[in-house]
Amino acid sequence: MAAGELEGSKPLNGLLNALAQDTFHGHPGITEELLRSQLYPEVPPEEFRPFLAKMRGILKSIASADMDFNQLEAFLTAQTKKQGGITSDQAAVISKFWKSHKTKIRESLMNQSRWNSGLRGLSWRVDGKSQSRHSAQIHTPVAIIELELGKYGQCDLPFSSSVVVFQKSEFLCLEFDEVKVNQILKTLSEVEESISTLISQPN
Amino acid sequence: MKAPLPHPPLAQRMQIRDCWALIRHLFEARNTLVDFQWKLGMAVSSDTCRSLKYPYVAVMLKVADHSGQVKTKCFEMTIPQFQNFYRQFKEIAAVIETV
């Protein structure tokens, strides 16, 4: 039985999920044989391989172009009309999958293209004034801020074109007095103003 | 039955507390911020995604450690991450003002 004839949307949906995990989210260990045996056990390997490649290619094209829903419909319709393309049922499954997973896939693609460290987390506390017998104040209020910075790296695995893995975080601990906090706030408001200007400009 | 240990006088307890604060201060590797530079960029396209189209904030911090040595740290934030970063600083400012 050919992979294209096996429908029920469940196997194809499962396949698309696995392809997204492998291609975009960097999940290791997703092999061709695993997918075939779990999702399409009745399809011989020599038939499954081109089917898998076709689905991967379609998913990558959709993600690379960041297709909106009009573009998606046009693209999938064209794929159904092609020689060796996809069926209407498959097109429907792919369409539904992209609508549900677009945001997460896009986020992974953005992370893949970021080569500087990203801000993974921020925690803070404010230490108050304290006194001792010998001086009125030995501390003024300070904010202690811990930034967690981390980088996405890429490595190649045999089955995938690339795999994204998240490298170990670096923690940066900074101390600010009140004056410094307010200086940073002023700077951040300038950043926000620039962002507003950018967003308000027509494309 | 052994007599209970005498409670240290107040001044001595405060000196002990100062020492612990100093020790904690020395062991927590804190840096001070020397400079904060930023730019707003727009990622348009890449080899893995032809249509990226996302703005980002790139930050370069110059920080000095306790010995005075200055090092540079760079990182990027998406717009939602920046907005959270900004919101947190506003919260810090509000709290530090009241302490």
Which residue in the set B48, B74, B86 is minimally distant from A192, CB to CB? B86
Mean pLDDT of chain B: 82
Judged by CB atoms closer than 8 Å, whether chains meet at B36 and A184 is answered as yes
**Shortest Cα–Cα distance, B25 to chain A (Å):** 11
- Chain B residues close to A193, C-beta within 8 Å: none
SS3 A162: coil
| Residues of chain A falling short of pLDDT 50 | 1-4, 6, 157-158, 162
Mean pLDDT of chain A: 85
Judged by CB atoms closer than 8 Å, whether chains meet at B76 and A110 is answered as no
Contact A4, A87 (CB under 8 A): yes
Q: d(Cα A31, Cα A101) in Å, to the nearest integer?
A: 21
Which residue in the set B33, B46, B95 is minimally distant from A180, CB to CB? B33
Taking only the tens place, the pLDDT of each residue in A41-94 is 999 999 999 999 999 999 999 999 999 999 999 999 999 999 989 999 999 999
Task: Please identify which residue in the block is written with the tokens 């690339």.
Answer: A162
User: What is this model's ipTM?
Assistant: 0.72
The alpha carbon of B49 is separated from its chain's Cα centroid by a whole number of angstroms, namely: 34
Cα end-to-end distance, chain A, whole Å: 49
Residue environment code for A112-128, b if the CB has 16+ CB neighbours within 10 A, otherwise e? bbbebbbbbeeebebbe
- Chain A residues close to B63, C-beta within 8 Å: 172, 174
Highest mean pLDDT among B6-15, B28-37, B47-56: B47-56
Q: d(Cα B17, Cα B20) in Å, to the nearest integer?
A: 5
Cβ pairs A/B, distance under 8 A: 142
Helices (H) and strands (E) counted in chain B, each on its own, are 2, 3
Which residue in the set A129, A173, A189 is minimally distant from B28, CB to CB? A173
**B31-43 vs B54-64, strand pairing mode:** antiparallel
Ranges of H-type helices in chain A: 9-23, 32-39, 45-64, 69-81, 88-112, 178-200
The model's pTM is 0.71
How much of chain A exceeds pLDDT 70, in percent?
A: 82
SS3 B30: coil
**The pLDDT of residue A1:** 42
Cα end-to-end distance, chain B, whole Å: 46
Contact A164, A154 (CB under 8 A): yes
Q: Indicate the pLDDT class of residue B11, thresholds 50, 70 and 90.
A: low
